[in-house]
Amino acid sequence: MIKRHAVLLTVLFALTVSLVSLSAIFWEFYKLNKEQYINHIFTKYSVITQIYREHQQRQSSEIMLEANLAVYNLEVTKDEKLKKEIFEKGKILKREGFKSFNTSLLINDKGLYTKNVVTNLRATMIQYKRNIYFHIETPNGDILIKDNELKPYSYINLLYSYITIFMIISLSFILILQRLRPLIRLRKKIELYGNGNMDISFKTNRDDEIGAVANELEHARQKINTILESRTLFLRNLMHELKTPIAKGTIATQMLDSQKQRDRFSSIFKRLETLVTEFAMIEEVTSLDDKKDFSEYRLLDVIDGAIDMAMVDKEHVTMKISGKIKVHVNYRLYTTAIKNMIDNAMKYSTDSHITILMNDKNELCFESKGECLAHPLQYYIEPFTKENPSKNSFGLGLYLVDSILKAHGEVLAHEYENGVNRFIFA
């Protein structure tokens, strides 16, 4: 199943990898961009710290502090309830502790001198309800200041960019799949043609690569159909033209005075009639394009029909077949295949006896005593090939059996064990 949809699965895999990679890149970019934004706006704490420290040192009024902060669009948050909500529910974006160095020039009775004061401070940036607050803590107190200018980090622009690129990639792959749809339809048509629908058309008006392949297939289909029709017509006409002189020859043979000559000519015409019949059977098998004539039969009934066709006494055939076994076959063709196996055993076995049975793999087997085949089985399933040229045969028996089995999705196999030839319908 995977191999049949390899191209489609490859495209879907490439789409998945592309979208996952895009999402991962944008996620990392989002985190980096947000961190840079927070670090950038956090630097404002230095201005706030300086204003607040000067306020503490000079002990200026609250009005002066608020005025200085208002210059930078900052506002002191005094509502204790609001401050509590901000501390409890607000999101801490960044917190940093540092030391503040303050140098003062003083005078005493000894003259001027410098005084350095080191103060431990901590600045915390908090986000609460789309507002940014700075909480400045010193040993002498703390203050919460709202920045009316700064806003929390917004990912909207980045999200728009991500969605845009995501949609472009998705649409690109959708267009690719859309272009591959004719290839899927073409594969289905080829499958129908392979299953025997000789009238299927591959012709298309597309002018791309797939269209070129489809039109070439249509050209090839027309050539193949023409060849098949010519072959069928030739074989049928040939067999029809041969049957007429054979029938006339058979009748004329009966008018001969010599019994010896009558027997000789009768044998010749009978062999010719057998050859024409086998040709007709081969033509039927090779032109079998569907399974509409297949039905379910008991295997015992099929074998009995083959024994009757072979015109052999039933004591020459031993059957070890369960009556419950059924097969889905073309009765006439499958019976002919079994009949040929029986004929083969009658001609080449040392005791003119054949045993028909099912093996452990539930395969139909034909066993007969005799010498092992002189050549591999492939040699004997070629047309006009036989072990003993003196036998009354044209060498089409096993070739016909192999052709019939292939039409049924089976193959002919051979084993030799302890003086027994075993032919298997596998």
CB atoms within 10 A of CB 59: 6
Say if 198 falls within a structural domain.
no
**Per-residue pLDDT tens over the stretch 312-326:** 888 888 888 888 888
Low-confidence winner among 105-109, 202-206, 279-283, 310-314 (lowest mean pLDDT): 105-109
Is there a domain that residue 201 lies in? no
Is 263 among the domain residues? Answer: yes
Question: With bands split at pLDDT 50, 70 and 90, how would you rate the model's confidence at 394?
Answer: very low
Choose the final residue of a domain: 230, 263, 286. 286
Residue 399 lies in a domain: yes
Report the DSSP beta bridge partners of residue 302: none
Higher pLDDT, 164 or 254: 164
pTM for the full predicted model: 0.47
Write down the pLDDT at residue 366: 92
3-state SS, one letter per residue, for 367-420: EEECCCCCCCHHHHCCCCCCCCCCCCCCCCHHHHHHHHHHHCCCCEEEEEECCE
pLDDT range class, residue 99, cuts 50, 70, 90: low
pLDDT average, residue stretch 80-100: 84
| Residue 308 counted as domain residue | yes
Give the pLDDT band (50/70/90) at residue 310.
confident
84 and 34 fall within a common domain: no
Tell whether 35 and 164 lie within a shared domain.
Answer: yes
- 36 with 49, same domain: the answer is no
Q: Are residues 281 and 318 in the same domain?
A: no
**Same domain membership, residue 162 and residue 92:** no
pLDDT at 284: 66
Per-residue pLDDT averaged across 233-248, rounded?
72
**Strand duo 141-147 + 131-138: pairing:** antiparallel
Same domain, 317 and 400: yes
Q: How many domains does the chain have?
A: 4
- Interval 42-67: pLDDT, tens: 888 888 888 877 777 777 788 888 88
pLDDT in tens, 202-231: 888 877 777 888 888 888 888 888 887 777
Would 196 be classed as within a structural domain? no
CA distance to 207, 212, 244, 366, 423, per residue, from 203 (Å): 11, 9, 43, 48, 46
Closest by Cα among 270, 241, 242 to 254: 270
Say if residue 121's pLDDT is above 60: yes
Report the CATH number that the domain containing residue 390 is assigned in CATH: 3.30.565.10
Q: Does pLDDT of 390 surpass 50?
A: no
Where is the domain boundary, 250, 268, 286? 286
- For residue 192, being part of any structural domain is answered with no
28/49 same-domain check: no
* Domain around 215: 209-286
Residue 127's pLDDT band (cuts 50, 70, 90): very high
Query: Nearest to residue 416, comparing CAs of 370, 379, 378, 355?
Result: 370
Instruction: Please report the pLDDT score of residue 273 as a whole number.
Output: 72
Pair 162, 36 in one domain: yes
Rounded percentage of the chain residues whose pLDDT exceeds 70: 84
The reply to whether 310 and 276 lie within a common domain is no
Q: Indicate whether 399 and 261 sit together in one domain.
A: no
Shared domain for 235 and 317, answered yes or no, is no
More confident: 246 or 326: 326
Is 127 inside a domain boundary? Answer: yes
Residue 356 shares a structural domain with residue 223: no
